[in-house]
Amino acid sequence: RLEDVLIVCDFPEVFPEDFPAVPPTRQVEFQIDLVPGAALVAWTPYRLAPSVMKE
């Protein structure tokens, strides 16, 4: 329920009272094929110096 979301309760003027309808069905533009039994990648991203990140 929308009333149970804290951000909606804090800023009710931003959110409409009711939504007109469910979003329309869209065609899939891309998909990611999952491999059954594959493990998650569990490492932190490689950190770069700010000067290198600008490039």
Dist. CA 53–CA 55, nearest whole Å: 5
**For the chain, which residues make up each domain, given as ranges?**
23-55
Q: What are phi and psi of 30, to 5 degrees?
A: -155, 165
Instruction: Kindly state the average pLDDT of the residues 12-39.
Output: 83
pLDDT for 25: 84
Instruction: Kindly state the average pLDDT of the residues 26-34.
Output: 86
Share of the chain above pLDDT 70, in %: 93
| Residue 4 banded pLDDT, cuts 50, 70, 90 | confident
Predicted TM-score (pTM) above 0.75:
no
pLDDT for 29: 84
